Chain A
Amino acid sequence: MKRLCGLFFVCALAAMLRAEPPSSFAIRDARVVTVSGSELAKATVLVKDGMIVDVGPNLAIPADAWVIDGSGLTVYPGFINALSTWGIPEVAPAAGAASRATAAPAATPQPAATPQPRVRGPEDRPQNNSYERAADLVKPTDHRLEGIRAIGFTTSATFPNRGILAGQGALIDLAGDQGADMVVAQPIGEQINLRTGGFRSGFPGSLMGVISYVRQLYLDLDQYQQAKSIYAAHVSGTPRPEYDHYLEGLAEAPRILLPADQAQQIDRMTSFAQELKRPAVLYGMHEAFLRIDALKQANLPLLVNLHWPEKAREADPTDVPSLRELEMRANAPAVPALLTKAGVHFAFYSEGADSAADIRKQLKRAIDGGLPRADAIRALTLSAAEVYGLSDRVGSIDKGKIANLVVTKGEPFEEKTTVEYVFVDGKLFKPSKVPPASPAGERGRN
């Protein structure tokens, strides 16, 4: 113990002096949950230059490595939030604001105060940010990052989440000297929102309007690509197709993310995904307990929202919620367990639940709902990487992968558990302490 403290003293001092941070680590004698393979009871993880160099029992430790005594500790792959705005400072709620009460959903575009030109239809591409890349927007200055890392998150599938065609996501690491350092892969998909401004807000002003708009865009994309290839093959005499910024954005995305929370929305988006004929991921899933079989049959990757529906913090005591809502509140946290049992592939995301206390509480509810702990960890790591086809670089502790690691004392997300170290891209972070619960969390006490 003493040696460890000494080490850390040096380490911290080195950082303070802005000397080269250490680039080689060995976590020794720790329990290692690789996720991809079997759990190692006592093993060493070797990290060098941002990568996992090796993992296994009885590894030789290179001379230049900083050694961490992992006895009594467990090493996990860094946790991945499978859909968030983490890392985009512009959409982060103001520091100190109650994260869930006011922030969700983040990045909601506000109606413009001054009249905008009237939208004439899908061809005007309203609420369309298909080309906007999270990769260009992420910055290490997002004040949420420190707290998130402190509970073991190293990675996020981050999306700009503005408008209906809500932009291109990037898989990012949650630390870096500048934005570009954070990007692991991009683009990873186009997020689609089915939000509208309501009646009289301009096209699309209804859910059906949004759906028809998205449908038209993808038909336009097909025609655009067809036109471009015909043009390429027969340049002479063929009219040149007009460049479409918005369609280029859609064309880039390897997959689309469609929102589906309630049962009828799950049905609707399952068929919509089939109709659009491109790889799709459904996100939401709070009423998926009514559609487990259908989801298994549909075989689409799913993102389960950890922000479980719950009683409104301040409700009229005479308003009795509907049975449907009560069922949702009672059964949503059991969705991960039901999906696991049915063998349906899913990962977690934390819509607006940014504080450690929140995420811990929500995950615990999933586990209480019957989700085996190992499956919870998988949904937070490898499964999330698989949804985006990036399990070759993140999501498990394997040789050659990015060194995103979390070292805990105790089972993750248990109250008494402490996160001892977090490695992002091979860089060590020592959470000073878990940041205080958000005001929203505090209010529950009174």
Chain B
Amino acid sequence: MRSQALLLLVAVSAIAADHESLLIQNVTIHPVTSAEIKGGSVLIVDGKIAAIGTKLSARGAKVFDGKGLDLYPGLINAGSNVGLSEISSIRDTVDIDEIGVFNPQLKAEVAFNPSSEHVQIVRAAGITTVLSLPSSRGEEFSPASAVDAPILPGQGALMHLNGWTWEEMALKRGAALDMLFPIIPSVPRREQTIGGPPQRTYSELEREYKVKLEQIANFFEDARRYAHAKAAGEPDFQPDPKLEAMIPVIEGRRPILVRAGKERAIRDAIEFAEKEKVRIIIADPHDIGSTAELLAKHGIPVVLGETLTLPLKEDDAYDSQYALPGQLFKAGVKFCFGTFDVEFARNLPFQAAAASAFGLPPQDALKAVTINAAEIFGVADQIGSIEKGKLADLILTDGDPLEATTSIKAEFIVGKPVNLESRHTRLYEKWNARP
């Protein structure tokens, strides 16, 4: 490590004057992918990490003294509705959950509101990148399982939480195709109230489920035919935005983020992926049953939802949700974390820490909110760790960023210092001063 730093020292002096450069020094660097460096410095040139070491200096670079604080890569929330939903109970302010069953052509980034209050609030917690998704939590958690419930609600985009326009903020468009895997809703065991809709039987619900699976298979078949017709340049070929959007998916270039809460959905999703030969990422699972090994075997990564959530069943161990990440870790499944909401998106690091209290090694908790997310969504060459050549998404803290008692002191997104003020701090300052 040390010898590498010395080598870098040589490289540094070659910075040309017309490049924007910044030297963060006097910090403990936590690169995530390698050992920590005490008294370290990071040189940023044109938004990228140009050098890491202990004795860096750079003429012409602005210097930021880290005063002995800790430097981490920016955290990644790999599942949220940030930018698309402002006040969740007021529909007019919400742009998720479009009407329609198959909408793979919808793109989250085009409605990402750079002025959303949540952008500032979330990044103030050390989160520099979010995956913004076009739909709310999966059907598993919504009261209705209507026949016309969305299945493919659109594409999620990885967004940087800094920029003037969504174009500037978009790190990776079409990062994943969102998919709400159908479910068989559970039939309530006891009738609590008078009246209400008549209970449907399991076999009816199961039939509906199978119909939906068939619908999905048909849609993928259509997409494949479409791609074939297009490639063959068939004379009567007619463009179709929906099917067009499926081409990267069926070609395996765009993964499908499958919201699969329970074991059945996970198993059926894996089967579906095998059959359709598509890449999937399981999202927001809470009752994985005995699928951990299966996920590991197929190399299917997972975006975990909230750790801090209730066990699903009365008899589940009290810590069944807390312990889930540790369980996946032991099975060798690659995973990261999301929150699948807006208002609690900033609490992502605490979800990871709680998982660590219940069996996930702390270093892997940190990886889960940084490098793992980057790898799972194919941007590990750009973000997720402090390494030379990556984008300078960095946070400066007075301790472990997964601890709530830690403060985020400074933040850089693509090398630019980020203002950590938000509506929350502004209100604080204003009203704290009320005489």
Contacts and interface: CB of A to CB of B under 8 A. Distances in A.
Contacts of A318: 262-264
A316 B263 contact: no
The 9 closest A-B pairs by CB, nearest first: A198-B193, A111-B195, A322-B314, A314-B202, A314-B201, A197-B194, A316-B202, A322-B315, A323-B315
Contacts of B203: 314
Contacts of B405: none
A316 B189 contact: no
Contacts of A315: 187, 202
Contact of B187 (A109, A196, A312, A324): A312
B181 to A, nearest CB: 15
Nearest to A206: B193
A314 B200 CA distance: 10
Contacts of A111: 194-195
A316 B187 contact: yes
Given A322-B314, A322-B315, A324-B314, A197 B195 contact: yes
B196 interface: yes
A319 interface: yes
Interface of A: 108-111, 195-198, 201, 312, 314-316, 318-325
Contacts of A323: 314-315
B186 interface: yes
A312 B315 contact: no
A109 B194 contact: yes
A195 B192 CA distance: 8
A182 B197 CA distance: 37
Contacts of B186: 316, 319
Contact of A325 (B189, B202, B264): B189
B313 interface: yes
B264 A312 contact: no
Interface of B: 184, 186-187, 189, 192-196, 201-203, 262-264, 313-315
A378 B264 CA distance: 50
20 contacts: A108-B194, A109-B194, A110-B194, A196-B194, A197-B193, A197-B194, A198-B193, A198-B194, A198-B196, A201-B194, A312-B187, A316-B184, A316-B186, A316-B187, A316-B202, A318-B263, A322-B315, A323-B314, A323-B315, A325-B189
A321 B190 CA distance: 12
Q: Is the interface of B mostly helix, strand, loop or mixed?
A: loop
Q: Is the interface of A mostly helix, strand, loop or mixed?
A: loop
A83 B262 CA distance: 42
A312 B191 CA distance: 13
Nearest to B203: A314
Contacts of B195: 108, 110-111, 197-198, 201
A315 B193 CA distance: 20
Contacts of B202: 314-316
Contacts of B262: 318
| Most B C-beta atoms less than 10 A away, residue of A314, A315, A320 | A314
Contacts of A195: 193-194
A110 B193 CA distance: 10
Given A320-B313, A324-B314, A312 B194 contact: no
Given A315-B187, A318-B263, A319-B186, A198 B192 contact: yes
A360 B13 CA distance: 95
B251 to A, nearest CB: 34
A201 B263 CA distance: 36
A321 B186 CA distance: 12
Nearest to A324: B314
Contacts of A316: 184, 186-187, 202
Contacts of B264: 318
A108 B195 CA distance: 8
B183 to A, nearest CB: 10
A318 B315 CA distance: 14
Contacts of B192: 198
Nearest to B206: A316
Given A110-B195, A201-B193, A322-B314, 13 more contacts: A108-B194, A198-B196, A201-B195, A312-B187, A314-B202, A314-B203, A315-B187, A316-B202, A318-B264, A319-B186, A322-B315, A323-B314, A323-B315
Contacts of A110: 194-195
Contacts of A201: 193-195
B262 to A, nearest CB: 8
A54 to B, nearest CB: 50
B189 A196 contact: no
Contacts of B315: 320, 322-323
Contacts of A197: 193-195
A94 to B, nearest CB: 15
A325 B192 CA distance: 16
A195 B194 CA distance: 7
Nearest to B264: A318
Contact of A322 (B196, B263, B313): B313
B126 to A, nearest CB: 39
Nearest to A110: B195
A48 to B, nearest CB: 48
A139 B192 CA distance: 31
A22 B203 CA distance: 54
A110 B198 CA distance: 12
A312 B193 contact: no
A319 B264 CA distance: 11
B206 to A, nearest CB: 8
Nearest to A325: B189
A83 B184 CA distance: 38
A96 B399 CA distance: 73
Contacts of A320: 313, 315
B408 to A, nearest CB: 41
A188 B201 CA distance: 39
A197 B194 CA distance: 5
B413 to A, nearest CB: 44
Nearest to A326: B315
Contacts of A324: 314
Nearest to B267: A318
A319 to B, nearest CB: 6
Nearest to A199: B193
B266 to A, nearest CB: 12
Contacts of A322: 313-315
Given A314-B202, A316-B202, A196 B193 contact: yes
B310 to A, nearest CB: 14
Contacts of A198: 192-196
A288 to B, nearest CB: 18
Nearest to A323: B315
Nearest to B184: A316
A198 B194 CA distance: 7
A322 B316 CA distance: 9
A66 B184 CA distance: 64
Nearest to A312: B189
Contacts of B194: 108-111, 195-198, 201
A260 to B, nearest CB: 15
B338 to A, nearest CB: 25
Nearest to B262: A318
| Most A C-beta atoms less than 10 A away, residue of B184, B186, B195 | B195
Contacts of B193: 195-198, 201
| Most A C-beta atoms less than 10 A away, residue of B187, B189, B192, B193 | B193
A322 B311 CA distance: 13
Contacts of B189: 312, 321, 325
Contacts of B187: 312, 315-316
B267 to A, nearest CB: 10
B154 to A, nearest CB: 29
A370 to B, nearest CB: 27
Contacts of A196: 193-194
Contacts of B314: 322-324
